[in-house]
Amino acid sequence: MVASAPDAFDLAWQPRLESLLAVGQGAGADLVEIFLERTDHLGVLAEQETITSVSPSFGMGAGIRVFRGDRDGFVSTNDLSDSGLLQALDQALGMLGLLRSSAPAAQFDGLGTLRDFAAAKADWLERCPSLAEATLKLLDGTGRLAHHGRHLQARRGSYSRDWQAVLVAASDGTFARDIRLHQSLGLNVLAADGDHRAGLGRRYGTSGRPDDLRAWDADASAQDVCASVGTMLYADYVEAGQMPAVLANRFGGVIFHEACGHLLETTQVERGTTPFADKVGEPIAHAAVTAIDEGLTDGAFGSLSMDDEGMEPQRTVLIENGILKRFLSDRAGERRTGHGRTGSGRRQSHAFAAASRMRNTFIAAGPHTPDQLIASVDKGLYCKSMGGGSVGPTGQFNFAVEEGYLIENGQLTKPVKGATLIGEAKEVMPRISMCANDLELAAGFCGSVSGSVYVTVGQPHIKVDSITVGGR
């Protein structure tokens, strides 16, 4: 039977963790890291005028990682008992051909002073809206969709609250704990009128703000969603081809995230899958482009007090005026590629080893107005809202355009649907020739090697001189 763990990651854990770390070091590991996690999640779904799903969950677990040279072994477990953790450590050591030894650890001086980011956040969970309050707010949202929308066949509102307490201890003395809170709200609609159908959604999310659901302007969100779906319901399919494109601010930043950001993670350097591996100090983008990744913006989805390896986040300038400045790096990335850590070691949960991942990633504002960008295009595509996308192992990316408009003679004209932007980062980055002055951020999720993590994407309006638009 699994033993229940203590309710809090407090200093009572220190001797247990030090004992485990000493065992790992004594066995010959270069570095041992233990990540402890407790979670409390609530998901609520409202459809039309009914709450159709309430899904609470809670859990706990540990991830133990052992490094020796460039290699590492990682084991995760739900069993936080002493025997469970020791068994996991043994398994991780065994992956590297190491065995527990009775000899004392020669180079382990114990954990450092606890860096406690959690203490000030201890009441976050109880300050969050109650289940009753959350359901009322969601029903308010779906009701406002009905009020503002036409031809709506389905209306959905969803709320997610993720609370996570973590403690990181490593044999280099790292000892830190934190509490994270992410809340998000989504409104989705499906509109249908005869053969015309359009589906569209928006998501709003923050971190570290227990009261945020209360502050949500449901009416403004519903108006935004209904206006967009009403326009797209009767849109024609876009004509395929090569053309200039202007991408709107906020979630338009997903293109940089997918097309370039992932290629600036040391995970990609390790795999040999980034074309930028040896380009630090060289131009990789148009001189108009400066790009930043940071974990510091108050309330942003990708902000952190510390990363999942116990390091405080930095503001990392990735590209400055088109020149590649540095990569995002985690512990393994630093060991294997030499790029210094940037507080970017992130993971979905204890079940994943941390990897270099983006946090709040955006293209910096430029000198132009959005209208100047649109006015500079004779015939092209304006991407007001982007859907999801992905990047392949050779750097090829693709993005769905959720809400698009034709640009004709420097003016926005009719709405178009069914567009997909495709290309390669190496080729597209030099074609981002204009950046507007209206930088905004948007909450999102990023799935990659260490699972799904909370991120922010962002940009001002940008112009891409030429890109392939898939359509009909």
Partner 1 sequence: MATSAGLNAEALSSRLQQLAQQTGIQQWDLGASCSTDTSVQVDRGEAKQMKGAQRSAITVRVWNGDGLVGITSTSDLSDAGLARALAGARDASAFGNADETPAFSPLATAPLASLEQPLHEPQPILTLLETLKQAERQLLDRHAAIGTVPYNGLAQRSSERLYLNSEGACRHQRLTTASLYLYARAEEAGRKPRSSGAVRLAYGTANLDIQGCIDEAAQRTIAHLDYAPIETGHYTCVFSPEAFLDLIGAFSSLFNARAVLDGVSLSQRDSLGQTLAVPFLSIRDNGLHPGNVGASAFDGEGTPTAPLDLVDGGVLRHFLHSEATARAFGVPPTGHAGMGAKVSVGVDWLEIGATPGSGGGQQGLNRLGHDGPVVVIDSLSALHAGVKASQGSFSLPFDGWLVQGGNSRSIEAATVAGDIRTLLQAIVGFEGEAKVTPDGLCPYVWVEGLSITGEA
| Contacting partner 1 within 188-207 (CB under 8 A) | 190, 197-199
Nearer to partner 1, 268 or 316 (CB): 268
Task: Give the DSSP H/E element, type plus range, for residue 178.
Answer: strand 175-193
Q: How far is the CB of 237 from partner 1 (least distance, A)?
A: 8
Q: Which of residues 404-443 bind partner 1 (CB under 8 A)?
A: 417-420, 422-424
Nearer to partner 1, 303 or 349 (CB): 349
Q: How far is the CB of 18 from partner 1 (least distance, A)?
A: 23
Give yes or no for residue 387 binding partner 1 (CB under 8 A).
Answer: yes
Give yes or no for residue 468 binding partner 1 (CB under 8 A).
Answer: yes
- Which residues have C-beta within 8 Å of that of residue 102, sequence separation ≥ 6? none
Q: How far is the CB of 95 from partner 1 (least distance, A)?
A: 4
Q: Which of residues 266-285 bind partner 1 (CB under 8 A)?
A: 270-273
* Per-residue b or e along 245-266, where b marks 16 or more CB atoms closer than 10 Å to that residue's CB: bbbbbbbbbbbbbbbbbbbbbb
Give yes or no for residue 6 binding partner 1 (CB under 8 A).
Answer: no
* DSSP character string of 89-133: HHHHHHHTT----SSPPSS-------EESSGGGTTHHHHSPPHHH
Q: Which of residues 138-157 bind partner 1 (CB under 8 A)?
A: 153-154
Task: Give the DSSP H/E element, type plus range, for residue 221.
Answer: helix 218-232
For CA atoms 264, 265, 270, 271, give the dihedral sign.
negative
> Of residues 16, 71, 100, 115, which one binds partner 1 by CB under 8 A?
71
Q: Which of residues 13-32 bind partner 1 (CB under 8 A)?
A: none
Identity of the residue numbered 29: A
- Which residues have C-beta within 8 Å of that of residue 255, sequence separation ≥ 6? 247, 386, 389, 397, 399, 421, 459
Nearer to partner 1, 205 or 404 (CB): 404
Q: Select from 208-216, 286-294, 383-391, 434-442 the region that touches partner 1 (CB under 8 A).
A: 383-391
Q: Select from 141-149, 360-368, 377-385, 394-402 the region that touches partner 1 (CB under 8 A).
A: 394-402
Q: Which of residues 76-135 bind partner 1 (CB under 8 A)?
A: 76-79, 84, 88, 91-92, 94-97, 131-132, 135
> Cβ atoms within 10 A of the Cβ of 217, count?
11
Nearer to partner 1, 198 or 306 (CB): 198
Q: How far is the CB of 152 from partner 1 (least distance, A)?
A: 10
Nearer to partner 1, 375 or 449 (CB): 449
Give yes or no for residue 312 binding partner 1 (CB under 8 A).
Answer: no
Q: How far is the CB of 294 from partner 1 (least distance, A)?
A: 26
Identity of the residue numbered 207: S
> Of residues 16, 19, 59, 326, which one binds partner 1 by CB under 8 A?
59
Q: How far is the CB of 135 from partner 1 (least distance, A)?
A: 6
> Cβ atoms within 10 A of the Cβ of 153, count?
11
Give yes or no for residue 73 binding partner 1 (CB under 8 A).
Answer: yes
Q: Which of 192, 98, 174 is nearest to 354 (CA)?
A: 174
Assigned token pair, 320? 């400055």
Q: How far is the CB of 314 from partner 1 (least distance, A)?
A: 25
- Which residues have C-beta within 8 Å of that of residue 214, sequence separation ≥ 6? 129, 133, 137
- Which residues have C-beta within 8 Å of that of residue 130, sequence separation ≥ 6? none
Contact by Cβ (8 Å): 141, 185: yes
Contact letters for partner 1, residues 338-357 (x by CB under 8 A): -------------x-x----
Task: Give the DSSP H/E element, type plus range, for residue 175.
Answer: strand 175-193
> Of residues 101, 107, 242, 413, which one binds partner 1 by CB under 8 A?
242
Q: How far is the CB of 92 from partner 1 (least distance, A)?
A: 7
Q: Select from 64-72, 162-170, 363-371, 404-412 the region that touches partner 1 (CB under 8 A).
A: 64-72
Q: How far is the CB of 59 from partner 1 (least distance, A)?
A: 4
Give yes or no for residue 219 binding partner 1 (CB under 8 A).
Answer: no
Number of chain positions touching partner 1 (CB under 8 A): 80
Give yes or no for residue 229 binding partner 1 (CB under 8 A).
Answer: no
Give me Rg for the CA atoms of the chain: 24
Assigned token pair, 110? 């114990």
**What is the crossing angle of helices 131-148 and 218-232, to 10°?**
40
Nearer to partner 1, 117 or 276 (CB): 276
Contact by Cβ (8 Å): 301, 308: no
Contact by Cβ (8 Å): 355, 346: yes
CA dihedral 140, 142, 147, 151 (to 10 degrees): 180
> Of residues 104, 388, 408, 452, which one binds partner 1 by CB under 8 A?
388
